[in-house]
Structures are given as C-alpha cells and as structure tokens.
Amino acid sequence: MQRPPANGLNLEFLTELTILLEKLEDDHSCRGMVLTSSLPGIFSAGIDMGELTLTASHGPEHVTAFWRALQTFIINLYQSHLVTIATITGHAPAGGCLLSLACDYRVMAAGNFTIGISAVRAGLFPPAWIQMLLSDIIGKRQAELSILQGKLYSPEEALQLGLVDKVVPETDMMSAAESELRQWLQVPDAARILTKSNLRRKLLQAFEHNREREVEEITRFIQTDSFQNNLKEFMQNLKNKKR
C-alpha cells in the first residue's frame, strides 16, 4: 500500500486494492501474497475520515458507495484462496487493524506503534461481522472489551492477546513473512483451500445475510447530527495532537 500520507482507505484506493487482489488470484502461478505498506511508520490509518464527512458535493450516496467498497475488499481478502500474510510495518488503528485481521497471519514491527479496532473513538460502531472477525482471533471477551473501549495496543500487548502472531524488528519483516509463507505453502493447495473456506463459512454467511442492511444502517447513522459532531471533534483532537 502506498497512498500518502497514511494509506487512508477511500473509495478509490479500496477499488484499486480490490482489482489488484483479483489480478493476483487470476494469476495461477501466484499462491500467496504479503499485504504491506511502503510508507514509513504506518501500516494504514484505516478509513479516510473525509469519506464519512458529509458536504454539499459529497452526500450520503458517497458513504453508501464507500462502505460497499470497504465490505468488498475486506471480505474478498478474507476469503481469498491465496495464503495472505500482513506485515504491519507501523500504526494500524481501526480500519488499518481490520485490513490485517482479514489476512491469514499477522507479523508486526516492534516499536512505538499501536493496533486495535478503535472505531468507537470516532463515534463509529463496528458491524457484527467485524466483531466476529475479532472475536474469532482474540476470543469473545477480549474482543468485547477491546471494541467497547476502542482500545489500541502496543506490539507486545497485541502479541500477548493473539491480535498479531509475531513481533519482529522492523528490518526483519519481509524475511519473517516469507519464511511463514513458505511454511503455509507446504500443505497441498486443494486441502488448504477447502479447509480455509470451511473455517470461514460461518462469518461469510453472517456477513452476506446482513450485507445490504448494514450499508443502509451505516448510511443512516453517518447522517445523524450526533455522529457528524463526534467526527468533527475527533478530527479536531487528532489535529491538536499533531501540532
């Protein structure tokens, strides 16, 4: 990922990522991939909050299109028949964390970085399938505590919790990912793909069942005054921190 300054997820970027993933999946010589960032110190800041800010030229229809693109990329990544490794090379709050959760394995760089499903901090609530995705990885109780308080964890805390699978020095990220990838690819493809698809069916069914309703709910929620006010305050706080 290389969308300065922070790999923020907007409609255009998510569409590009979706097309790129499709190309890799159509390439029969490709059996695995590494999702990484070429921006220093940041994996992805998650949703570009501009996408959720309503303006005259940027109405609810845009939010609807954006949310559909987010759903599509995350779910395609989650059910990819490729082996997918995330190298979390820096901060990964909210949607940045989500990108990594959709992969098969997570390697995080040691350092002063944070990761977590911090959506409630911006007044946003993660839909049921994202809660399920996190619960499947760190257990229901820790997911609940984590989501309800929008917690952000250090790499060491994330490792302890099972939110990431390995923490290595920044310079060793790619070699750690490659060695992990090689290990996963020892299993025969047919058995691995069928097994992965079986393991993930339940979440995918829950997601599909609620897909359109979720888009409607989010679109409606984004338009409430209370959300737009929370968002303004949240973005103001971020700006103040940076100064």
| CA distances for 48 relative to 2, 29, 186, 192, angstroms | 14, 34, 38, 34
Partners of 84 in beta bridges:
33
Minimum CB separation from a second copy for residue 214, in Å? 10
Q: What three-state secondary structure class fits 153?
A: strand
User: 178: how many CB neighbours lie within 10 A of its CB?
Assistant: 14
Which positions from 161 to 200 touch a second copy by CB under 8 A, shown as an x/- string?
A: -x--x-----------------xx-xxx-xxx-xxx-xx-
In this structure, what are the phi and psi dihedrals at residue 190, rounded to the nearest 5 degrees?
Answer: -60, -45
Contacts for 66 with CB less than 8 Å, ≥ 6 apart: 10, 11, 14, 51, 52
Residues in contact with a second copy, counted by CB under 8 A, come to a total of 47
Which positions from 106 to 145 touch a second copy by CB under 8 A, shown as an x/- string?
A: -------------xxx-xxxxxx--x---xxxxxxx-xxx
Chosen residue from 23, 81, 182, 201 binding a second copy by CB under 8 A: 201
Based on CB atoms, which residue is closest to a second copy, 3 or 214? 214
Residues in touch with a second copy (CB under 8 A)? 104-105, 119-121, 123-128, 131, 135-141, 143-145, 147-150, 162, 165, 183-184, 186-188, 190-192, 194-196, 198-199, 201, 221, 224, 226-227, 230
